[in-house]
Amino acid sequence: MAAQLRALPTVRYRKEDIHVTTILDWDATRANILETLQDFSERVRPTDDFVLFIAGHGELLQGGRYAILTHDYDGKMDDPDNFIGAHRIMTALQRIPALSQTIIFDTCYAGGMDSLITDLYNARMSTLARRMGMHIYASASSMERALDGHKGNGLFTHILLEGLRNNLEADRDNDKKVSVVEWGRFAKEKTAAIAKTLNHKQDPTIINFGRDRVVYELR
């Protein structure tokens, strides 16, 4: 995903202004992830476009609360130091000042974030109003497992990447540009359709608040 975002054909950003931070495999511990989010809160500016992409394992805790399982998870769901709960993620995102945020979760049960995202947006809107644009892509509903191992990625991630590759189908209004909203709609429809052919139900949760923006221009 990071490489594809860097390669997008766009006149909106200079290559030197695109900054990517990756946390992979054994480095994806609870402490490292939270420390990185804290670092973003100090470095990211209100005028930046912020993208957070998380692909991994998600779980539902007691009471239906969503959580991300990190590399150092030891199988004990009763210890909050073993995972990152949805409320902890929301607290970290609230501290990041970027007015434009796109948050992507490719995990099982990722739709469990939806109500918390609404609360976060409403809190931001009270002070930043019309300039805010928050877009959430969750690979499955709060009750669904997300398919993994589809052509080298999770199914949802695979479709998101397809939508970034000069994809005419993702340009819903035929203006030669693919916006955040269009990208999400494309990913939702294609993921659900392909999952159905694999005898699996996976209906991504796509939430768009506030301003849309162009992701890239078609060549």
Which CATH number do you get for residue 176?
A: 3.40.50.1460
Q: What angle do CA 178, 216, 173 make, to 5 degrees?
A: 20
Contact between residue 60 and residue 142 where contact means Cβ atoms under 8 Å apart = yes
CA distance 101 to 37: 13
- Rounded CA-CA distance 56/25 in Å is 9
**End-to-end Cα separation, the chain, in angstroms:** 20
Return the DSSP state at 146. Answer: P
Domain count, the chain: 1
Q: How far apart are CA 68 and CA 60, in angstroms?
A: 9
Question: What pLDDT was estimated at residue 129?
Answer: 47
Tokens 């294609």 belong to 190
Structural domain including 163 reads 2-16+23-217
Report the pLDDT value the prediction gives residue 54, as an integer from 0 to 100: 95
CA 143, 121, 53, 72 dihedral sign is negative
What per-residue confidence (pLDDT) applies to 174? 96
**CB-based contact 190:182 (threshold 8 Å):** no
Classify each residue of 45-56 as buried b or exposed e, where b means 16 or more C-beta atoms within 10 Å of its C-beta: eeebbbbbbbbb
CB 96 within 8 A of CB 37: yes
Give dist(CA 134, CA 169) in Å, integer: 23
Q: What is the mean pLDDT of each run of 10 residues along the chain (219 residues)?
A: 71 75 93 96 94 93 85 80 86 89 94 71 58 88 91 94 94 96 97 97 92 91
**pTM more than 0.85:** yes
| Burial (Cβ within 10 Å: 0-12, 13-18, ≥19) of residue 111 | buried
CB of 202 closer than 8 Å to CB of 131 = no
Which token pair is 52?
């957070």
**Contact indicator for 200, 192 with CB cutoff of 8 Å:** no
**DSSP structure class, residue 29:** -
